[in-house]
Amino acid sequence: MPIVQVLVMDPLFSDHSPLSINVEEHRDAKKRPFKFFNCLAQHPEFKNKINASWQIKGRGMQRVWQNLMKVRRELKQLNQREYMGVLEKVHKLRVELMDMQTHMRIISIPQCMIDEEKEIRTQLNKWSRIEETIYKQKSRVQWLKLGDSNTSYFYASMKNRKSQNQITMLTKDDDTIIRDSEEITREAVRFYQNLLGQANSLMPATQPEVLRDGPVLSKAQQLELI
């Protein structure tokens, strides 16, 4: 899906502001961290994967972190093996069901065909629900309930969030516009470094003598504050 940007420019001598339209067909995808989808917890292998992975011995948070890394690798492989291409699976099952039901209308129906049609419907229902839960989680739309065939809406919301989460252009302090992703990253780091300032290794400490010589609360005043 192309990314379209519109930049409103200065009118100069005209009574209209010219528009600069930039259409970007493809943007290099960045490596994203593994995201846990709720449908993984319903997989029959899920608990066994967790138990088998959580075996690293150690102490404290290092043990927890190492076990979490191993669990993440196992769940990532499970997700890639079982849930990649959910949209294609749903489309394929829907086509198979339509073909099967069309075929059943024009010939006498043997029991094996009835059983096959029932199995396809069961699989289609299963994968349609998985598709809906994934899109719902990606879109972060929490006020709609599952099971209402909201897949199209969830998918549109997910695409909208994806477009909003991208920074494809920045205007620098000198009003120059940058579009390169690496340059945008450097400019963002530079801006916040200047905003937050530099780290100070020598922090002035409070002098106890100054506190003792200044006005202090009496015992009664301290009790009134409680």
Q: Give the best-scoring range by mean pLDDT among 1-10, 25-34, 119-128.
A: 119-128
Could you tell me the pLDDT band of residue 151, with boundaries at 50, 70 and 90?
Answer: low
> Quick one: tokens of 147?
């099971």
Task: Mention every residue, 6+ apart, whose C-beta is less than 8 A from residue 40.
Answer: 46, 75, 78, 79, 83
Which pLDDT value is given to residue 39? 82
Burial 208-218 (b: 16+ CB within 10 A, else e): eeeeeeeeeee
Domain regions of the chain by residue span = 54-84, 85-164, 167-195
d(CA 106, CA 134): 37
pLDDT digits (tens, 9 = 90+) for 109-118: 788 888 888 8
E strand segments, 9-83 = 19-24
Q: Is residue 28's pLDDT more than 60?
A: no
Which pLDDT value is given to residue 155? 61
* Averaged pLDDT for residues 59-66: 86
